[in-house]
Copies of this chain bind each other. A is one copy, B any other.
Amino acid sequence: MYRTNSCGELRISDVNKEVVLSGWVQRSRELGGMTFIDLRDRYGITQLVFDMETNKDLCLKARSLNREYVIQVKGKVAERSNKNLNIPTGEIEIIVTELNILNASEIPPFTIISDTDGGDELRMKYRYLDLRREPLKNNIILRHRMSQETRKYLDNQGFLEIETPVLIKSTPEGARDFVVPSRMNPGEFYALPQSPQTFKQILMVAGYDKYFQIVKCFRDEDLRADRQPEFTQIDCEMSFVTQDDILNTFEGLIRHLFKTVKGIEFPGIFERMPYQEALEHYGCDKPDLRFGMKITELTATAKGKGFTIFDNAGYIGGICAKGCGEYSRKQLDELTEFVKKPQIGAKGLIYVKLQDDGTIKSSVDKFYAAEDLLRWAGQCHAEKGDLLLILSGEKYHTLNALNELRLEMGNRLGLRDKNIYKPLWVVDFPLLEWDEETQRFYAKHHPFTSPKPEDTDKLDTNPGEVRANAYDLVINGVEIGGGSIRIHNKELQQTMFKVLGFTAEEAERQFGFLMNAFRYGAPPHGGIAFGLDRLVSIFAGLDSIRDVIAFPKNNTGRDMMIDTPSVISQEQLKELSLKIEPNPKS
């Protein structure tokens, strides 16, 4: 037996017990004739004591240990004279009588402490050492807890977890697929699922009215800082439900997670905000509701007074930054630089300072009388001491820039507290989105989302105006889940593919199996999928998903620890009937 107890378990009530512990040497220090070692495992740290006077050989052996050695000790639990009340085991220590070195360790390339000195690259390469650190360990445990509680809740609600295949069919709609060559079918490929979407719909047709799965999904995208080629979804689908049934069920899931994992309960139901309202008031479809600072449209009041920039703008809008009326030139310049960054793309920033002394100062006071500026202030609910920040231009472009500016001001004013959670359902998304570049409509959500019944007849006449029973769950400005009521009728699905520019043959080749299934009694159905990585990172108070994943890949999709992707043998390529042919352009 390697141990009787873990390193996080023993308490003052265990004093005098004979115990065996195993773990890693966290640190070691000498004090007079005594040697103290902090022994670490997943469960905590326990102090070991060795005494030169009572057992010199043993103490010398203890002194020979380096950090991260794996050892086993036998000894007696004793009360500490110098208690450490910061850790649960801090009232006791182990008077060691036997020490067994289970494995040595070289000096790690970075220190295994919460605030490590290891850079990103080094931490990724030695992930097994990084994962020993307290913050990462807590993330992994949190993720486990959330997965288990998700299953518990859904199981209790009568959902069945059903595994869908990983080797499926490549379909060009949506993001790029990862593909898998089939050796047994030369020249043919499987694809890895971007989501189990069609399979879960098939399960609804098959009569499994409540399905879920915590499942890996795959997207071969050029990776941004916080994307991973493989990621995990809580994937769910229900039959015989309306949008309200789905929102209520999964609001219940999120409440259950917050309550059981973080001890947080939300009063009332989650706010539900139409997509259009989110755009107009927050400039985006995932508003951070931890703070107000809503966008106010000023087009009607600000136009036509001779200020050319505003007069030529399709839209003028502003936000009120409370208590920033005394912002300095430098601070305002910073904000102007911020909105002019290429990814935001505003031409400039107009401000109105409602200074503490009652005077008004604005970058446009040449063009507008004080009462004009006061009228804007009134519209924006600004008072003495506040700052109005105004942008203008094409409507949705400007709203987008105002969203960025609002979030920046939220950060500057400390209004985005990671310990506060504001969930929100955004509803009534448009069904389609026009793409200027390719001159065609794309599905805003995906091609299986149903138009709202009252909008269906606009599919032919005015597709851009058709709304969907589609919804996103947003927490603190982060989209953590989304879904929709689906099409369950073959003809409507065919129409949808047509609107999306599929020929009948393409639609049939790619999704014929689904439309076929709709011919044999498909029930009305809908669902949702949550990004587990994102959800865990929000619970952990992290901005990135990387450290809630045990073995993440870097921005070029590479696993630094196992050093892959990598070349395979000529033999393997031959078996797969493949040849590498570098693209001349790349």
Binding site for B on A (CB under 8 A): 1-3, 22, 24, 40-42, 68-70, 72, 102-106, 108, 126-129, 131-132, 137, 140-141, 143-144, 147-148, 151, 155, 160-170, 172, 176-192, 198-199, 202-203, 205-209, 216, 218, 220, 222-223, 229-230, 232, 240-242, 245, 488-489, 513, 517-524, 549-551, 553, 556-559, 561-569, 572, 574-583, 586
Task: Assess whether A185 is in contact with B147, with CB atoms less than 8 Å apart.
Answer: no
Instruction: Assess A523 versus B218: contact at CB under 8 Å? Given A131-B208, A203-B550, A572-B179.
Output: no
Task: Assess whether A140 is in contact with B208, with CB atoms less than 8 Å apart.
Answer: yes
A208 to B127, CA, bound (A): 13
- Complex contacts, A108 vs chain B, CB 8 Å: 520
Main secondary structure of the interface of A (DSSP, over half): loop
Minimum Cβ distance to chain B for residue A40 (Å): 8
Task: Assess whether B128 is in contact with A520, with CB atoms less than 8 Å apart.
Answer: yes
Task: Assess whether B549 is in contact with A163, with CB atoms less than 8 Å apart.
Answer: yes
Instruction: Assess A564 versus B168: contact at CB under 8 Å? Given A1-B242, A556-B184, A577-B580.
Output: yes
Minimum Cβ distance to chain B for residue A134 (Å): 11
Copies of this chain present: 2
Which of B170, B185, B549, B577 has a CB less than 8 Å from the CB of A556? B185
Instruction: Assess A579 versus B581: contact at CB under 8 Å? Given A70-B521, A188-B566, A208-B42.
Output: yes
Task: Assess whether B202 is in contact with A241, with CB atoms less than 8 Å apart.
Answer: no
A184 to B222, CA, bound (A): 8
Which of B218, B489, B557 has a CB less than 8 Å from the CB of A184? B557
A513 to B127, CA, bound (A): 10
Minimum Cβ distance to chain B for residue A487 (Å): 11
- Complex contacts, A198 vs chain B, CB 8 Å: 562
- Complex contacts, A218 vs chain B, CB 8 Å: 166-167
Which of B22, B161, B245, B556 has a CB less than 8 Å from the CB of A148? B161
Instruction: Assess A513 versus B561: contact at CB under 8 Å? Given A129-B206, A206-B131.
Output: yes
Minimum Cβ distance to chain B for residue A150 (Å): 11
A69 to B143, CA, bound (A): 42
A206 to B131, CA, bound (A): 6
- Complex contacts, A569 vs chain B, CB 8 Å: 172
Instruction: Assess A161 versus B186: contact at CB under 8 Å? Given A103-B523, A170-B572, A230-B166.
Output: no
A220 to B172, CA, bound (A): 25
- Complex contacts, A103 vs chain B, CB 8 Å: 488-489, 518, 521-524
Task: Assess whether B550 is in contact with A162, with CB atoms less than 8 Å apart.
Answer: yes
Instruction: Assess A128 versus B206: contact at CB under 8 Å? Given A144-B161, A164-B551, A567-B189.
Output: yes
Which of B205, B240, B586 has a CB less than 8 Å from the CB of A22? B240
Minimum Cβ distance to chain B for residue A320 (Å): 43
Minimum Cβ distance to chain B for residue A144 (Å): 4
Task: Assess whether B192 is in contact with A559, with CB atoms less than 8 Å apart.
Answer: no
11 A-B pairs whose Cβ atoms sit less than 8 Å apart in the complex = A70-B523, A103-B489, A103-B522, A137-B207, A141-B160, A166-B218, A167-B178, A167-B565, A169-B564, A176-B572, A575-B583
Minimum Cβ distance to chain B for residue A238 (Å): 10
Among A41, A230, A558, A576, chain B packs the most CB atoms within 10 A around the CB of: A576
Task: Assess whether B577 is in contact with A578, with CB atoms less than 8 Å apart.
Answer: no
Minimum Cβ distance to chain B for residue A519 (Å): 5
Task: Assess whether A127 is in contact with B206, with CB atoms less than 8 Å apart.
Answer: yes
Q: Which residue of B lies closest to A188 (CB)?
A: B565
